[in-house]
Structure 1
Amino acid sequence: MPDRHYYTSLHRSMVATVILVSLMPMALITLIGGYQYSAAYKAKVLAHLGEIVRKHEQNIDTYLLEKVAEIRVLADNMGVSCFREEDRLERLHRTLMERHGGDFVDLGLINEQGMQVAYSGPFRLGEANYADAEWFREVMKRKVYISDVFLGLRGVPHFIIAVQFFSEGRQWILRTTIDFVAFNRLVENIRIGQTGLAFIMNRNGDFQTTPRLDLNAEIPFLKHFLDKTKDEQGRPLQDGMVISRVAENPATGRETIYLTTPLKQGDWLLVYQQDTADAFSELVQTRNIALFVLLVGTIAITFMAVLLSRRMIKRIKASDKEKEMMNEQVIEAGRLASLGELAAGIAHEINNPVAIMVEEAGWIHDLLDEGLDKEGNTDETRRALTQIRTQGSRCREITHKLLSFARMIDPTVVEMQLNDMVEEIVGLSSQRARFANVQVETELADDLPTIAASPSEMQQVLLNLVNNAVDAMEKEGGTLTITTRRDRDDVLMTVADTGCGIPRANIQRLFDPFFTTKPVGKGTGLGLSIIYGIINKMKGEISVNSAVDMGTAFTVRIPSAASAQAEERRKKE
């Protein structure tokens, strides 16, 4: 019966197999479905954010275009005389402020030399000279110009819209300052989640709006995005095109989503950023739920796998115990069958001394009839009695061996010397071998180590091999050779005969139960299968080499007792 380590290993294998087979589909579905859902969800979130950024870009561009259009309408439809009169200029400015919610901070008229000749607004900028201002040079080139945010003469962040027009044969510039707070509010409204924020940068990396967080540490990193807004020829991308990317934020060390789109014909860049953990928070929650379900499923499957495998192991143990009992019964039946085969030869062997004793007893009876006082009868009677005693001792020795064999049914494994068992079996089988005209020879090694085996089972192995060999040579006789030798830590025993041999087609089935080549009623077909089971239980091997009309040799390899003990200790460790 297998030991505890076998059932422990079997239990672990069953649990691992059940868990693997059960979890593999669930894990694959979770991974594949999770990956596809994650990819689709991220794409959807990026598309949603891109659409929001695009709409705000349109709103900002529309806001700027509206302001430019208002100034151009005034420049195209109002004469320069209207702007040079400060009262009329103030009325125009007040009207703009009322109609547009205070977006137009001031309004000024500049001549072609850069001198401001009229001004309406909260600052003292009358007769200011803008000849060296960058925006002045740009508007003289472009006709219409929206500047970057700068401090200027007033010392506060602002940007201007300037329009060039002709009146009275000269070039004039109508300039207005846009409320920076109102403009900045347009960008601040782009806020999603806890970390989402938007801001505007120019081509130099200067902020055109005030971010609600300090982003100065990110400026070198953000400048890389400015180059990404150009096509292969280095030209700015068109307004409305949104570029998205995911990168690690150098200031926070967190993975961040960046969406950028050009503004003001590529002069400005609208940037929206948000931590991926914030943007994909619902995805993270869904992923956590899936992992929780997977964990619960794994625990449930593991529990059921352990429970079911334990039940299966109990049934296997019970089945193995029943199988072991049946094997012992089959072995015992085989021993009894072998004992029956021996009985015929032993009966002949006992018959000879019994016949001698009967003859001597009859001779003594004749001597008694003649009288012991007759010369020579007393000595003859003593000789006859001595012969009867000798033959009786011979019968007692034969029956003692037979009874010893029959009583050896204890399956307990002990250390034993294989040579002793060989000599015992040869002695029991010698009479049957003589009747079959078989000569038994032994070649036993002197340095043979002990083996760990059951004596009764080893008797069964040897007796079956010897009986099969004798049966193979029963018709024409032959030689039976039993050889033992040592091979490292193993003991090898070969039982060879010079009989009829075994066809190659039958060798593969030789150890199958109930397979026999003997005539009907001669064999059960269990002998070799019993031998195979016994040798296999001892962690040994049995092999056969046979040729038709030349003979058969069975070789049994059995681990030595020391080797078997070392293997047992290794398993326990």
Structure 2
Amino acid sequence: MGGERNGKHKNFYRQLRRNIILAIMLVSLVPLLLSQGIVLAHLREAYREKVIAHLHELILKHGQGIDRYLTDRLANIRLLARAYDPAILADEEFLRRQLGLLREEFGGVFVDLGLVDGEGKQLAYAGPLNLTGVDYSQAGWFKLAMAHDQFISDVFTGLRGTPHFVVAVKQDRHGQDWILRATIDIEAFSFLVENIRQGETGFAFIVNRKGELQTRPRFAVDVARQPYAEFLRAKTLPGKVVVTEKRGQDGHDYIMAVSLLKGGQWLLFYQQERSDALSSLAGAERLAMAVVAAGVLAVLFMALAVSGRMVARIAKSDEQKKLMDERMLEAGRLAAVGELAAGIAHEINNPVAIMVEEAGWLEDLLEEDDVVSNADRAEFERALAQIKTQGARCKGITHKLLSFARKTDPEAREISVNEMIQEALSLLAQKSRYANVKIQARLQPGLPSVKASPSELQQVLVNLVNNAVDAIGAAGGAVTVSSERVGDKIVLKVADTGKGIPEAELSRIFDPFFTTKPVGQGTGLGLSICYGIIHKLGGQISVESQLGQGTTFVITLPAASGAAEDHK
């Protein structure tokens, strides 16, 4: 039994420590994690906005640079076309010198120069190929160039068989149209676009409205599919640069920027995997998570240390409380013994007086000469029998008193409720007679036994009956002790016909050191001890009282499983 109780205590302290650790962790970590989550959310949003703003500015500047590059190359050709008469430009030697100057000035951006008449025939050519006399009348770029004063073509292969594009300026001299055209080095142009890159996955490329690539992308793309197609279909964009987040065909999330070039004929696309664009943020988040993890470990360490210290103190306090309860129980028992002392002394005095009288009678008989006569022998035997009887009576009374006064047996066992009640009432019989109080027992036969310490449960009943006798006072009355079975519970009641307890005092009736008796006549420990004993046994104790009608204490105890009590 002691080992089982120790095991329950250990389980209680383990659960208490777990609850303390959980409470400390919740109180400490919830604000930490919540604030960290809010900070990270704001940081993530702020960093995302910063990345998008940076990308917006990057694409805007590069787009403007590409447009400026194209318009500058067109301006170079337009300057030549306006500065020289077609007859001069038709001189291929002169044209070669101009091409050399342009290449020297712009580092090989210009591949060749050509003068084309209004019919599409190239009159003069300067460059690496022999294209003099070539007919461009059916070429797409020529038709578009004839429809405009100046023109920049899309990238195409043409007669060269390699990707290139031309810039062309149309002039009208002497009523005839002619075109000065130049081929732009696609490698130099592509470098302007390929130079737009961020991180490991960022790259840019240009497409025309037909979805044809004008530069080589760093990674393979399918511009006919989303999300590129929706921008190709749009005639205009809501701003000079649109930055958005899209999911690609590969299932990855991308940050994409789009800008219009060449008057809206080309689209500059830039894309980068979102994780790559926000890689610095990921590093900051990992650092923050490491800090949070360190905080969690620190809180856990402190929770373990604090909970261990607190539980140790609680356990020590419980031990001290248990010792104090035992002392209070002993004090209550001694107080009850004191109250019983007068009645017990009178109870013992009667049989002792009889024994003394009988002993004197025997002495008188022994003084006579004929002590062993038949008639005197019978009287002698009767007196001895009476002495034995009264001695046994004294022994029984003192045994009951000592049994009640003995220190509480901590071991609970199955006991008969009715027998225990009858034994307790026998201790109080003399006091009740002196107090003019009638004690009645109404015990239901066949009650199951209960598992309890006999001395503790007896002390509860003695205290309650003593209080009931004191509450009735000199006017006299009755105390009724009853027992009955209600379901799997045993219900004991101690009812008196005393003056009752005021309602305002009922809520404090079980408090330690609270008493309704006059000063010097009560310690206020009796009912508190009773309350502690009953709850320790797994039962309940309550009180019902009305002024002028009496008080009833109700004790409910669990019946021992499988036990039944014979009718006594």
CA contact (8 A) 2:330 2:407 kept: no
**Counterpart of 1:473?**
472
**Counterpart of 2:310?**
312
Moved more, 83-92 or 167-176: 83-92
Moved more, 242-251 or 352-361: 352-361
- Name which of 266, 270, 273 aligns with 1:272: 270
Aligned residues: 555
Deviations 1:369-414 (CA, angstroms, capped at 9, x unpaired): 8887899877666555544443333222211211222235221222
| Offset of residue 156 of structure 1 | 1.0
Give the Cα–Cα distance (whole angstroms) in 2 for the partners of residues 496 and 227 of structure 1: 97
**Counterpart of 2:451?**
452
Pairs within 5 Å for 1:111-190: 111-190=117-196
Deviations 1:313-359 (CA, angstroms, capped at 9, x unpaired): 22222221121111111101111111111222222222333344445
SS in 2 for 1:331: helix
Asked if residue 44 in structure 1 is aligned to residue 43 in structure 2, the reply is no
Which 5+ residue runs of structure 1 have no aligned equivalent?
564-573
- Amino acid corresponding to residue 312 of structure 1 in structure 2: M
- Amino acid corresponding to residue 305 of structure 1 in structure 2: A
Asked if residue 33 in structure 1 is aligned to residue 32 in structure 2, the reply is no
Give the Cα–Cα distance (whole angstroms) in 2 for the partners of residues 163 and 534 of structure 1: 112
| Offset of residue 495 of structure 1 | 1.9
Give the Cα–Cα distance (whole angstroms) in 1 for the partners of residues 279 and 375 of structure 2: 127
Give the Cα–Cα distance (whole angstroms) in 2 for the partners of residues 471 and 550 of structure 1: 15
| Offset of residue 503 of structure 1 | 0.9
**Counterpart of 1:569?**
none
**Counterpart of 2:236?**
235
- Amino acid corresponding to residue 530 of structure 1 in structure 2: I
Moved more, 280-289 or 332-341: 280-289
Deviations 1:180-220 (CA, angstroms, capped at 9, x unpaired): 0000011111122222211112223222110122224x651
Give the Cα–Cα distance (whole angstroms) in 2 for the partners of residues 550 and 141 of structure 1: 121
- Amino acid corresponding to residue 403 of structure 2 in structure 1: S
Give the Cα–Cα distance (whole angstroms) in 1 for the partners of residues 48 and 237 of structure 2: 27
| Offset of residue 523 of structure 1 | 1.0
- Amino acid corresponding to residue 312 of structure 2 in structure 1: K
**Counterpart of 1:532?**
531
CA contact (8 A) 2:404 2:459 kept: no
Give the Cα–Cα distance (whole angstroms) in 2 for the partners of residues 281 and 215 of structure 1: 23
- Name which of 220, 225, 229 aligns with 1:220: 225
Give the Cα–Cα distance (whole angstroms) in 2 for the partners of residues 417 and 437 of structure 1: 29
Pairs within 5 Å for 1:198-347: 198-216=204-222, 219-224=224-229, 226=231, 230=234, 234-237=235-238, 241-251=240-250, 253-347=251-345
| Offset of residue 51 of structure 1 | 1.9
**Counterpart of 2:565?**
none
Give the Cα–Cα distance (whole angstroms) in 1 for the partners of residues 109 and 375 of structure 2: 164
- Amino acid corresponding to residue 300 of structure 2 in structure 1: T
Q: 1:367 to 1:247 in 2, by over 3 A?
A: same
- Name which of 25, 30, 43 aligns with 1:24: 30
- Amino acid corresponding to residue 299 of structure 1 in structure 2: L
Q: TM-score, normalised by structure 2?
A: 0.90
- Amino acid corresponding to residue 249 of structure 1 in structure 2: G
- Amino acid corresponding to residue 95 of structure 1 in structure 2: L
Which 5+ residue runs of structure 2 have no aligned equivalent?
563-568
**Counterpart of 2:438?**
439
| Offset of residue 501 of structure 1 | 1.3
SS in 2 for 1:468: helix
CA contact (8 A) 1:236 1:266 kept: no
| Offset of residue 511 of structure 1 | 1.2
Deviations 1:487-544 (CA, angstroms, capped at 9, x unpaired): 3333322222222111110011111110000111111101111122222223322222
SS in 1 for 2:147: helix
Give the Cα–Cα distance (whole angstroms) in 2 for the partners of residues 263 and 475 of structure 1: 116
Give the Cα–Cα distance (whole angstroms) in 2 for the partners of residues 417 and 140 of structure 1: 123
Give the Cα–Cα distance (whole angstroms) in 2 for the partners of residues 562 and 381 of structure 1: 54
CA contact (8 A) 1:57 1:263 kept: yes
Kindly report the root-mean-square deviation, in angstroms, between the aligned alpha carbons of the 2 structures.
2.7
- Amino acid corresponding to residue 254 of structure 1 in structure 2: H
CA contact (8 A) 2:241 2:257 kept: yes
- Amino acid corresponding to residue 399 of structure 1 in structure 2: T
**Counterpart of 1:547?**
546
- Amino acid corresponding to residue 235 of structure 1 in structure 2: T
CA contact (8 A) 1:202 1:267 kept: yes
| Offset of residue 7 of structure 1 | 0.5
CA contact (8 A) 2:227 2:246 kept: no
- Amino acid corresponding to residue 166 of structure 1 in structure 2: D
Q: TM-score, normalised by structure 1?
A: 0.89
